[in-house]
Structure 1
Amino acid sequence: MTALIELLTLCKASKVIAPSISYSEYIPLDLSISNQEINQLETAKDYGAFIQKHLDNSKGKIAFGGYQEIRNLYKRSTVFNAKNSEERNIHIGLDLWINESASVHAALDGRIHSLQNNTALGDYGPTIIIEHTIQNQTFHTLYGHLSEESLTGKQIGDTVSQGEQIGNLGLPPINGDYAPHLHFQIIIDMENKFGDYLGVCSTKTLDYYSKNCPDPNIILKISNSHFTNI
């Protein structure tokens, strides 16, 4: 994995949503359990209004964040709170929040690994997973909370180019019933899963998923404090 991380760190930054929006208009967003402002939020509309206020106050257009953030917003869904299992509340992707059906683009050259509409409350909704290979290192990127139309006309094995539009953001309730956003995640081993992969893990499994799902900012490079070639 170290070799792959080094390769991705050296790659040119890639925008996966609304590429005309400058990184200077990206604003960090805290949706962790430590943020007291969101304790009373319940619905997608509530979160949408909160995020839009945050963007307006910060003069931003896209709110980003959430990698390994511990969140309460999954408590409403049995997807993350199944009986006889540890609660999953640690987010292992990076979210890009924008209150519109913005365009979604492939992070790198690759081929469609799988696609599926994950329809449960709180799940991804329409999802596309792309397989990439760089210098014999294979990994995947997941794009969750898309529109239903994003899945139309696509087939497993279709090639995609870096920056190519692969769909649009979905709106609630189609997108799992969230405020509109893209869940973007790196996955090294898909573990034979199809059209879906855990985007939220438990405390006990965090060590494994930290390795199998490294920080997506390695590709996006939203913050230039840790990455080169911005």
Structure 2
Amino acid sequence: MLATEKLAAYIKVHPGAIGKVVDFNAKSDRLYPLDLTAANTELTPELVADTEAFSNWIDKKLADNNCRYGIGGYMEHRTIYTRSALFDTEDEPRRLHLGVDIWGDAGIPIYAPLQGTVHSFADNDNFGDYGPTIILQHNLDGLILYSLYGHLSRESLVGLEAGQSISPNQQIATLGNSTQNGHWPPHLHFQLMLDIGDAKGDYPGVGRYSQKQQHLQNIPDPELILQFADTSQR
């Protein structure tokens, strides 16, 4: 059974157990689906290499389309990772995006959508990396699920302790700016995993395309939690 099917089975029985990840009003807010693959010819290498220009491009897309957030990325094969040597492994470059990105303003609140505990946290301070990152652990009637929140503000890590109890809809962080978040336009990388092994404060958010089927066994579609599909602009 794929990871998404396992999580979907839990949500079907417990539809009221899911909280929010960001503030969002489905009746009034709109989402802009951002395509960060090679099919988007506006994303030139020069644009994505310039963090300020990349940020301005995203801001303009959201403003022009009257959208509160940009959204997208689950299992998306992206070429933009050529901007960082972090993803250029020797045998096969990592280009497969494993989570969902929510693009918005720095400083917006980030919430835990499920009951859980703080598993780990770290400041992954490399160019193109997550920057400040929090991983929560959830026990869903015996199904262990981890949720990762990357590209946060450094203030988000202050006062955290492993094992700390977290309630649904509890604010756990704020979104970081480009000087804190690994030098990206402000956005949240939100990812779910069933197994993270010995990882602490970090787990790959970009994988090898050749291993997509393996990733699907472990990484559920975050849309199950976000429930944004019906409000994306098409």
Q: By how many angstroms is 1:174 displaced?
A: 1.1
Q: 2:67 aligns with which of 60, 68, 71?
A: 60
User: What is the total number of aligned residue pairs between the two structures?
Assistant: 222
Q: Distance in 1 between matches of 2:7 and 2:95?
A: 27
**Match in the other structure for 1:36:** 41
**Match in the other structure for 1:153:** 159
User: Does the alignment pair 1:138 with 2:144?
Assistant: yes
**Match in the other structure for 2:225:** 219
With structure 2 as the length reference, what TM-score do the two structures score?
0.90
**Match in the other structure for 2:109:** 103
Contact 2:151/2:175 (8 A) holds in 1: yes
Q: Distance in 2 between matches of 1:47 and 1:65?
A: 16
**Match in the other structure for 2:15:** 11
What SS class does the counterpart of residue 38 from structure 1 fall into? coil
Contact 1:43/1:178 (8 A) holds in 2: no
- Comparing 89-98 and 67-76, the one that deviates more: 67-76
Structure 1 vs Structure 2 CA RMSD = 1.5
**Match in the other structure for 1:228:** none
Q: Distance in 2 between matches of 1:162 and 1:183?
A: 19
What SS class does the counterpart of residue 121 from structure 2 fall into? strand
Gaps of 5+ in 1: 226-230
Q: By how many angstroms is 1:182 displaced?
A: 0.3
One-letter identity of the residue aligned with 2:75: Q
What SS class does the counterpart of residue 209 from structure 2 fall into? coil
Q: Distance in 2 between matches of 1:4 and 1:16?
A: 17
More helix by share: 2
One-letter identity of the residue aligned with 2:135: I
Q: By how many angstroms is 1:64 displaced?
A: 0.5
One-letter identity of the residue aligned with 2:102: L
With structure 1 as the length reference, what TM-score do the two structures score?
0.91
Q: Distance in 2 between matches of 1:165 and 1:216?
A: 18
Q: Distance in 2 between matches of 1:8 and 1:77?
A: 37
CA deviation map 1:88-132 (0-9, x unaligned):
011010000013321111021100000001011101000000000
Q: Distance in 1 between matches of 2:206 and 2:70?
A: 19
Gaps of 5+ in 2: none
Contact 1:132/1:140 (8 A) holds in 2: yes
